[in-house]
Chain A
Amino acid sequence: MATNNTKEATIRVQRYNPDVDKKPYFEEFKLDVGADTTILDALEEVKGEQDGTVTFRRSCRHAICGSCAMNVNGSNMLVCNRRVEEVLDGKGTVTIKPLPYLPIIKDLVIDRTSFWEQYLRIKPWLVPPDDIPEKEFRMSAEEVKALHDAEQCIMCGACYSACTVVGMGKTYIGPHALLKATLRVMDPRDSATDERLLEISGSDGAYRCHTIFNCIDACPKNLNPTEAIETLRMLAIKRSSFVEARKERQKTLNDPIKH
Chain B
Amino acid sequence: MYKTTGFISFFLRRVSGMALVLYLLTHMLVIGSAQGGAESFDKMMGYVQSPVFKMLEVALLAAVIYHGIDGIRLLIIQAFKLTDKRKILFYTGLAISTILVLAGGIPMLVFALGEF
Cross-chain contact A164 with B2 (CB below 8 angstroms)? yes
The answer to whether A76 has its CB under 8 Å from any CB of chain B is yes
Cross-chain contact B2 with A76 (CB below 8 angstroms)? yes
Q: Which of A22-30, A51-59, A129-137, A207-215 contacts B (4 or more CB under 8 A)?
A: A207-215
Within 8 A of B (CB), among A194-242: 210-214, 216-218, 224, 226-227, 230
Cross-chain contact A164 with B83 (CB below 8 angstroms)? no
A166's nearest neighbour on chain B, judged by CB, is B2
B13's nearest neighbour on chain A, judged by CB, is A210
Name the A residues within 8 Å of B4 (CB-CB). 212-214, 217
The answer to whether B78 has its CB under 8 Å from any CB of chain A is yes
Pick from B10, B77, B78: contact of A210, CB below 8 A.
B10
Pick from B1, B7, B81: contact of A212, CB below 8 A.
B7
The answer to whether B86 has its CB under 8 Å from any CB of chain A is yes
Name the B residues within 8 Å of A217 (CB-CB). 4, 6
* Per-residue interface assignment for chain B, residues 1 to 40, with 1 indicating a CB less than 8 Å from any chain A CB and 0 otherwise: 1111111011000000000000000000000000000000
B87's nearest neighbour on chain A, judged by CB, is A213
The answer to whether B74 has its CB under 8 Å from any CB of chain A is yes
Name the A residues within 8 Å of B77 (CB-CB). 211
B5's nearest neighbour on chain A, judged by CB, is A213
Q: How many residues of B contact A (CB 8 A)?
A: 15
Shortest B4–chain A CB gap in Å is 5
Name the A residues within 8 Å of B7 (CB-CB). 164, 212, 214
Known: A210-B10, A213-B86, A226-B83. A167 touches B2 (CB 8 A): yes
Name the B residues within 8 Å of A39 (CB-CB). none
Name the A residues within 8 Å of B5 (CB-CB). 213
B75's nearest neighbour on chain A, judged by CB, is A211
Known: A164-B10, A227-B81, A227-B83. A214 touches B74 (CB 8 A): no
Inter-chain CA distance A76–B10, complex, in Å, is 19
Name the B residues within 8 Å of A101 (CB-CB). 2
B1's nearest neighbour on chain A, judged by CB, is A100
A210's nearest neighbour on chain B, judged by CB, is B10
The answer to whether A103 has its CB under 8 Å from any CB of chain B is no
The answer to whether A128 has its CB under 8 Å from any CB of chain B is no
A226's nearest neighbour on chain B, judged by CB, is B83
| B→A interface (CB under 8 Å) | 1-7, 9-10, 74, 77-78, 81, 83, 86
For this complex, 5 residue pairs linking A to B, each with C-beta atoms less than 8 Å apart, are A74-B3, A163-B2, A213-B5, A216-B83, A218-B2
| A→B interface (CB under 8 Å) | 74, 76, 100-101, 161-164, 167, 210-214, 216-218, 224, 226-227, 230
